[in-house]
Amino acid sequence: MSCHGTLVFFQLTGPLLRVVEGDGRLVPATDDEVMEVGDFLEYENSEMHVVADTGQSLECISIERSSSGKLRLECSEGSTEADLGKLNAKLQYIEQILQKVKEEEKQRISCGSPVHSHVNVDSQCSADKCLVTDGNVQSETPYQEIPSIASSLNYTHSNQSGSMDQCSRPSEGVIESGSSASAVHSNLKPDLSMSDGEICLDKLSIRELHELFKVTFGRETTVKDKQWLKRRIAMSLTNSCDVSATTFVIKDNKIVRKFVEESSGNMNVASLISSENMTEEEDINFKDSSAVNACGIDDKQVVSEIRLRNQNTEYELEDMTNQTEQRAAKRIRRPTKRYIEELSENESKEHSPRLPVYNKSMELGHVSSTSHVRPARNTFSEVRTCGTRFASLGGSDVEIPCVSWIRRSRPRKDMASLMKFHPSAMNETAKLSNKLIEHSSDAVGEIPDKVFKSRMPATFHQPSSSEPEKEKQCPVIGAIEPRQELRPKRADPPGHTSDDNIVTVPTAKGGMRRKHHRAWTLVEVIKLVEGVSRCGAGRWSEIKRLSFASYSYRTSVDLKDKWRNLLKASFAMTPAPADEGINSRKHGTAPIPEKILLRVRELAEMNSQVPPNISSNKVAAGAGSVHEDRSGYL
DNA sequence: GTTAGGG
DNA sequence: CCCTAAC
């Protein structure tokens, strides 16, 4: 599958984003991609992380601080000036807010008591990323649409901040990318504080947290719970991108954020987080911010940092290592229901409900593994999972899946083998996944939430493995399965291989096992009886081979089980076999005609009369005799 | 891999 | 229908 689109990874004070060429949106990278980038860093030191497979011309944007100290976002493409203006406005507004918070902090410190906040809350600001670090506030460029940005980013960050805080790092060297296709520059000032994505909210007072809350959510809160506030703010900060796969950890009273997500040219994830997510509120914010900007900002403790991820400083490697480690540690625990609900609520409040996939799927609470379907590292978009989101819960690290296409109840060898024999299935799967995403995002109402909640987690995986034999006729069906689940149940004609009626039931082990119910039809029963009469009960595999060759979903075990039930039924109704007809219509299940049951009983008795010691050579004889007297029935 | 039996 | 011990 062609993945056209130049992928550019860069980082916003921690999060790894990437630019999707074509629409120019910034898309967070997924864990997988971060891993990959990590690999890049690890194995291809100093290599920029631009994956350009289209060779299209590259444009540049830069974010820098103007002489007045304001953040500027610039782009070489003139056509985007308006948008850049927006961005800049927002940046500046964020600076404003952060500045105020910082001043307040100063004041508080000097006065020894909290002072009233000066932060203008009326603006309904939803400043995307306000990082507060030990009293210093840092702003990140809000992650949002940057229209027409092409692939390459030329980021120039000229920060004049002189004050350093505990978190500041000594140096952030300028590193020139050595990649071929595009020129990527990263000019970063040494004063960019704090290690990647680390936010320290714990030293803020309740009031400050309130302010931050207001700034973040555009509304006031009366909650006194500091932890709650911090968490809430932190969540907003990390989730403000509306994208999944945010890594976010509270550790030792620090909020360590990891922000990862991915998208690729052929995925619609980009559209999910596109300008649509810019709510009216945010638009208003821009206006407000423009107005507020009049006062300007001098204090350079307000820092905005964007840097390309093509650096290879020791810090970077360190961060990478840490992130990897933390991520690994985080996979262990799953989020609690409450947290997920809270998160969902948060996102649904803060943003237009256009990311149903993420929100809904998060409610599933399944830990997803995102990578094992990926074929290779340089193909970013084969089978797409939407990644996972790391988040914090009471100081523990959790991973919240966003969309898990990945099966989890059955061993994946089936998939693997299928893929081996049907390489196209991969692509099909990817396409379908994309389609599903499209559908889910564009027309949510079309698919009831229930379906997603109850069906998707367990059904979005490989189909039944009940037929491992020769009849893998529809390997792709498995990929389509989720869609099939949404379709009305089809009739049950024999000889079909697609899977239906898949229901998941919880198992004792906590996993979900798939219950695949397909009612036995009368034809099948007849065939079974015929098969038993021909081959004898117990030779299920042979019966299957002879009589159920076209019924791929009936395994020999199924035959055996059904036979067992038939025996039970036949003997249960035996005492009064007198009446012909359909008296055995008990549970609404297919009424088995009296004839059949009688036949079953005959065979059973015959079988019991001729115990297993007949086995090898006499089986044929027994079958033969059966064959004779069966003529009347079948 | 197949069968038998329990769940 | 699933699981698994036993063959």
Tell the residue number behind the tokens 């029935």, with chain if given. Answer: A633
Identify which of A111-125, A221-235, A425-439 has the greatest average pLDDT. A221-235
Average pLDDT, chain A: 46
Report the distance from CA of residue A223 to the C1' of nucleotide C2 in Å, as an integer: 49
Helix (H) or strand (E) holding A614: none
pLDDT digits (tens, 9 = 90+) for A76-99: 333 344 444 545 555 565 467 557
pLDDT digits (tens, 9 = 90+) for A96-114: 755 765 665 556 545 444 3
Taking C1' of B6 and every protein CA, the nearest residue is A561
Which carries the bigger pLDDT value, residue A103 or residue A519? A519
Q: Kindly report, as residue ranges, where domains of CATH 1.10.246.220 are found in chain A.
A: 522-629
Which carries the bigger pLDDT value, residue A144 or residue A568? A568
Looking at chain A, the whole-number percentage of residues with pLDDT higher than 90 is 0
Report the distance from CA of residue A14 to the C1' of nucleotide C7 in Å, as an integer: 59
Instruction: Give the separation between CA A242 and CA A244, rounded to whole angstroms.
Output: 7
Q: Write down the pLDDT at residue A592.
A: 76
Q: How many residues does chain A have?
A: 634
Q: Nearest nt to A545, CA vs C1'?
A: B2
Which carries the bigger pLDDT value, residue A110 or residue A530? A530
Which carries the bigger pLDDT value, residue A246 or residue A108? A108
Burial class (CB in 10 A: 0-12, 13-18, 19+), A604: middle
Q: Write down the pLDDT at residue A459.
A: 32
Taking C1' of B2 and every protein CA, the nearest residue is A541
Q: What are phi and psi of A556, to 5 degrees?
A: -60, -35
Asked whether residue A557, judged by its CB, lies under 7 Å from any atom of the DNA or RNA strand C, the reply is yes
Report the distance from CA of residue A609 to the C1' of nucleotide C4 in Å, as an integer: 29
**Residue A537 pLDDT > 80, yes or no?**
yes
Identify which of A68-82, A384-398, A462-476, A588-602 has the greatest average pLDDT. A588-602
Q: Write down the pLDDT at residue A53.
A: 34
pLDDT digits (tens, 9 = 90+) for A171-201: 333 333 333 333 333 333 333 333 333 345 6
Q: Nearest nt to A518, CA vs C1'?
A: C1
Burial class (CB in 10 A: 0-12, 13-18, 19+), A439: middle
**Residue A585 pLDDT > 60, yes or no?**
no
Report the distance from CA of residue A426 to the C1' of nucleotide B5 in Å, as an integer: 39
pLDDT digits (tens, 9 = 90+) for A299-338: 333 333 333 333 333 343 334 434 433 444 444 444 455 5
Q: Considering the domain A522-629 in this protein, what is its CATH number?
A: 1.10.246.220
Report the distance from CA of residue A601 to the C1' of nucleotide B6 in Å, as an integer: 23
To the nearest 10°, report the CA torsion of A9, A11, A12, A17: 30
Chain C: nucleotides under 7 Å from a protein CB?
A: 1-4
A7, A264 Cβ separation under 8 angstroms: yes
**Residue A606 pLDDT > 50, yes or no?**
yes
Report the distance from CA of residue A561 to the C1' of nucleotide C4 in Å, as an integer: 15
User: Rg of the Cα trace of chain A?
Assistant: 31
In angstroms, the Cα distances linking A406 to A89, A386, A597 are 41, 10, 43
**Residue A223 pLDDT > 50, yes or no?**
yes
Chain B: nucleotides under 7 Å from a protein CB?
A: 1-7
Q: Write down the pLDDT at residue A535.
A: 85
Q: Nearest nt to A519, CA vs C1'?
A: C1
Identify which of A19-23, A293-297, A512-516 has the greatest average pLDDT. A512-516
Question: Which residues in A354-372 are b (16+ Cβ under 10 Å) and which e?
Answer: bbbbbbbbbbbebbbbbbe
Residues 50-89 of A with CB under 7 A from strand C: none
Identify which of A119-133, A374-388, A585-599 has the greatest average pLDDT. A585-599
Provide, for chain A, the percentages of residues in helix, strand and coil under a 3-state DSSP scheme, each rounded to the nearest 5. Answer: 40, 15, 45
Instruction: Give the separation between CA A338 and CA A560, rounded to whole angstroms.
Output: 45
**Residue A257 pLDDT > 60, yes or no?**
no
Q: Write down the pLDDT at residue A106.
A: 57
Asked whether residue A599, judged by its CB, lies under 7 Å from any atom of the DNA or RNA strand C, the reply is no
Q: Write down the pLDDT at residue A533.
A: 86
Instruction: Give the separation between CA A421 and CA A424, rounded to whole angstroms.
Output: 9
Report the distance from CA of residue A540 to the C1' of nucleotide C7 in Å, as an integer: 15
Asked whether residue A466, judged by its CB, lies under 7 Å from any atom of the DNA or RNA strand C, the reply is yes
Q: Write down the pLDDT at residue A234.
A: 73
A159, A70 Cβ separation under 8 angstroms: no
**Residue A540 pLDDT > 80, yes or no?**
yes
pLDDT band at residue A431 using 50, 70 and 90 as cut-offs: very low
List the helix and strand counts (H, then E) for chain A. Answer: 19, 20
Q: Nearest nt to A558, CA vs C1'?
A: C1
Residues 304-323 of A with CB under 7 A from strand C: none
Asked whether residue A520, judged by its CB, lies under 7 Å from any atom of the DNA or RNA strand C, the reply is yes
Nearest to A266 by CA among A29, A9, A20, A479: A20
Average pLDDT, integer, range A532-555: 86
Instruction: Give the separation between CA A116 and CA A153, rounded to whole angstroms.
Output: 41
* DSSP per-residue string spanning A309-342: TT---HHHHHHHHHHHHHHHHHTT----HHHHHH
Residues 508-567 of A with CB under 7 A from strand B: 537-542, 556-557, 560-561
Report the distance from CA of residue A499 to the C1' of nucleotide C3 in Å, as an integer: 20
Taking C1' of B1 and every protein CA, the nearest residue is A541
Kindly state the DSSP code that residue A400 receives in the 8-state scheme. E
pLDDT band at residue A524 using 50, 70 and 90 as cut-offs: confident
Tell the residue number behind the tokens 């909640």, with chain if given. Answer: A453
Asked whether residue A408, judged by its CB, lies under 7 Å from any atom of the DNA or RNA strand C, the reply is no
pLDDT band at residue A504 using 50, 70 and 90 as cut-offs: low
Question: Which residues in A10-32 are b (16+ Cβ under 10 Å) and which e?
Answer: bbbbbbbbbbbbbbbbbbbbbbb
Report the distance from CA of residue A538 to the C1' of nucleotide B7 in Å, as an integer: 21
pLDDT digits (tens, 9 = 90+) for A15-26: 343 333 334 444
Identify which of A59-63, A220-224, A332-336, A446-450 has the greatest average pLDDT. A220-224
Report the distance from CA of residue A603 to the C1' of nucleotide C7 in Å, as an integer: 25
Q: Nearest nt to A409, CA vs C1'?
A: C2
Asked whether residue A514, judged by its CB, lies under 7 Å from any atom of the DNA or RNA strand C, the reply is yes
Instruction: Give the separation between CA A121 and CA A134, rounded to whole angstroms.
Output: 22
